[in-house]
Amino acid sequence: MPTQAPQTIVDVAVANGSFKTLVAAVQAAGLVDALKSEGPFTVFAPTDEAFAKLPAGTVETLLKPENKAKLASILLYHVIPGKLESPAITKLSQATMLNGPAVTFKVSGNQVTINDANIVAVDVAASNGVIHVIDSVLLPPDMPAPSKDIVDTAVANGSFKTLVAAVKAAGLVDTLKGKGPFTVFAPTDDAFKALPAGTLDSLLKPENKQKLSDILTYHVSAGALSPVDLYTMPEAQTVEGENIQFRVKDGAFYVNDAKVLLAALPTTNGLIYVIDAVILPEQANSTMPAKDIVDTAAGDGRFKTLVAAVQAADLVDTLKGKGPFTVFAPTDDAFAKLPAGTIDSLLMPENKQKLVDILTYHVVAGNIKAADVVKLTSAKTVEGKDVTIKVQGNKVTINDAQVIITDIATSNGVIHVIDTVLLPPM
């Protein structure tokens, strides 16, 4: 017997028989090829009964050729980039849809809702994703027509004070107030704070104006790139000249390694996507005044004991290496909480291996930002044993140590500050 070709999301919907209106709408909106493409996609599929609940004449109106764009926007409001099966869905509170706006998820007992629609069947498999069946059509919020350009929108938002100051220092205000359209990937103030200490101050100096301009224009692409463009295009050229890469992970968009926090904020001359990290062009990245983990700790002033211990354990070269590493760094006060004489004993040459074991028990391979740490319950350390991670409200603990400062960026990883020394189990 011939092998049956894998069924795409569109094929599954057609074969099911409960989605005649949805299939007709997908055809009218010109989205068949998109939803038959590689994906993967997560589709929340309204049944025929769900469409029948809309006001009389709504579906007929949407199917008219002149309403094709509006229909496409509604349909894409039912699609999340990536493949999210039901266990992942129940852990979400919000997700950004392919047309830009976000939906809200709520779990009450065994019932999961997306906006005001009940999810009535889950995990219908397709070759390019998964379908969850819903009992109401999702209608995207009406977006008011933008009245401000990119610069004025960023100023009014309040989350981009550093970006706005940098745009002014680089002499790019008139450019970003120009006709465009442009797509701007805008790092928040917190994103700029995550840069190595002194980086921003250095970039804002007049003699570094060109370098600053290169970095900022690396966050700008010509044209208005919709979320669908981000999902279907592997990369785009920036105004700086180099390309940025787009990818999807766990239902979220990423630009290089920066996560898109808010998608498709409209302006009069383009779109703004809010991102959680500053992205660096290759040329700027090679000359950034970034410090490695050891130099960052040495320059901080709160880790004198830790730095002395790293030196005594001969781990300096390791922690100055390529990595990346995630270090849970005890402060001097954390070391001071150890029993009297403990540090002096550990620093003796005959206890070097024990000191190495303790220090490497504070190091995890990889660059694990705080947003990812809180998703973990444990992590394997370089020493070989696991640490336990717990989240209670805003409090995060590693074993019995509380994380008090997060995401100190370095050139070869990230430092999270803890208030207690971690001791590996015997």
- DSSP line for 365-423: ES---HHHHTT-SEEEBTTSSEEEEEEETTEEEETTEEEEEEEEEETTEEEEEESS---
pLDDT digits (tens, 9 = 90+) for 351-365: 999 999 999 999 999
pTM score of the predicted model: 0.55
**Torsions phi, psi of 36, nearest 5?**
-100, -5
Sign of CA dihedral 49, 55, 56, 61: negative
Is 103 in the same domain as 163?
A: no
Among 134, 161, 182, residue at a domain's last position: 134
Is 219 in the same domain as 278?
A: yes
**Torsions phi, psi of 13, nearest 5?**
-65, -40
The rounded distance, in Å, linking the Cα atoms of 310 and 317 is 10
| Residue 38, Cβ density class (10 Å: 0-12 exposed, 13-18 middle, ≥19 buried) | exposed
CA angle centred on 215, ends 81 and 161, rounded to 5°? 80
pLDDT digits (tens, 9 = 90+) for 236-248: 999 988 899 988 7
What pLDDT score was predicted for residue 160? 94
**Torsions phi, psi of 161, nearest 5?**
-60, -45
For the cut 80, the answer to whether the pLDDT of residue 228 exceeds it is: no
| Peptide linkage before 81 cis (omega within 30 of 0) | no
Q: Which residues pair with 220 in a beta bridge?
A: 184
Give the CATH number for residue 327: 2.30.180.10
CA 104 to chain centre: 18
Across 67-76, average pLDDT: 86
Is 381 in the same domain as 310?
A: yes
| Peptide linkage before 40 cis (omega within 30 of 0) | yes
Is 154 in the same domain as 276?
A: yes
Q: State both tokens at 6.
A: 């894998």
What pLDDT score was predicted for residue 3? 44
Among 287, 305, 322, residue at a domain's last position: 287
Share of the chain above pLDDT 90, in %: 60
What pLDDT score was predicted for residue 6? 66
Instruction: Examine residue 49 and state whether it is found in any structural domain, yes or no.
Output: yes
For the cut 90, the answer to whether the pLDDT of residue 153 exceeds it is: yes
Among 84, 110, 134, residue at a domain's last position: 134
**Torsions phi, psi of 50, nearest 5?**
-65, -45
Q: Which residue has the tokens 């229909």?
A: 71
Across 204-210, average pLDDT: 88
Is 117 in the same domain as 173?
A: no
Across 265-269, average pLDDT: 87
Query: Are 35 and 8 spatial neighbours (Cβ–Cβ below 8 Å)?
Result: yes
Helix (H) or strand (E) holding 51: helix 48-52
Nearest to 229 by CA among 43, 34, 65: 34
Instruction: Examine residue 139 and state whether it is found in any structural domain, yes or no.
Output: no
What pLDDT score was predicted for residue 99? 76
Across 172-192, average pLDDT: 93
**Torsions phi, psi of 72, nearest 5?**
-60, -40
Is 198 in the same domain as 317?
A: no
Instruction: Examine residue 93 and state whether it is found in any structural domain, yes or no.
Output: yes
Dihedral of CA atoms 40, 13, 57, 228 in degrees, nearest 10, equals 10
The rounded distance, in Å, linking the Cα atoms of 421 and 358 is 9
Q: What residues make up the domain containing 234? A: 150-287
For the cut 60, the answer to whether the pLDDT of residue 277 exceeds it is: yes
Instruction: Examine residue 3 and state whether it is found in any structural domain, yes or no.
Output: no
Nearest to 278 by CA among 397, 160, 178: 160
Instruction: Examine residue 309 and state whether it is found in any structural domain, yes or no.
Output: yes
E strand spans, 169-315: 182-187, 220-222, 235-237, 243-249, 252-255, 258-267, 270-275
**Torsions phi, psi of 356, nearest 5?**
-60, -45
Instruction: Examine residue 426 and state whether it is found in any structural domain, yes or no.
Output: no
Instruction: Examine residue 4 and state whether it is found in any structural domain, yes or no.
Output: no
Sign of CA dihedral 68, 71, 246, 162: positive
Is 70 in the same domain as 25?
A: yes
Count of domains for the chain: 3
Query: Are 228 and 248 spatial neighbours (Cβ–Cβ below 8 Å)?
Result: no
For the cut 50, the answer to whether the pLDDT of residue 388 exceeds it is: yes
pLDDT digits (tens, 9 = 90+) for 319-342: 998 888 999 999 999 999 999 999
Is 321 in the same domain as 390?
A: yes
What pLDDT score was predicted for residue 2? 41
Query: Are 332 and 338 spatial neighbours (Cβ–Cβ below 8 Å)?
Result: no
Nearest to 229 by CA among 260, 204, 207: 260
For the cut 90, the answer to whether the pLDDT of residue 23 exceeds it is: yes
Is 88 in the same domain as 36?
A: yes
The mean pLDDT of the chain is 89
Q: How confident is the model at residue 260 (pLDDT cuts 50, 70, 90)?
A: confident
Is 279 in the same domain as 351?
A: no
Is 321 in the same domain as 279?
A: no
Across 158-181, average pLDDT: 93
Q: Which residues pair with 253 in a beta bridge?
A: 248
Instruction: Examine residue 145 and state whether it is found in any structural domain, yes or no.
Output: no
pLDDT digits (tens, 9 = 90+) for 278-318: 998 875 554 454 678 998 898 888 899 999 999 999 999 99
What pLDDT score was predicted for residue 1? 39
Dihedral of CA atoms 372, 376, 381, 385 in degrees, nearest 10, equals 180
Share of the chain above pLDDT 70, in %: 94
Across 8-37, average pLDDT: 90
Is 93 in the same domain as 179?
A: no
What pLDDT score was predicted for residue 262? 66
The rounded distance, in Å, linking the Cα atoms of 185 and 219 is 5
What pLDDT score was predicted for residue 62? 92
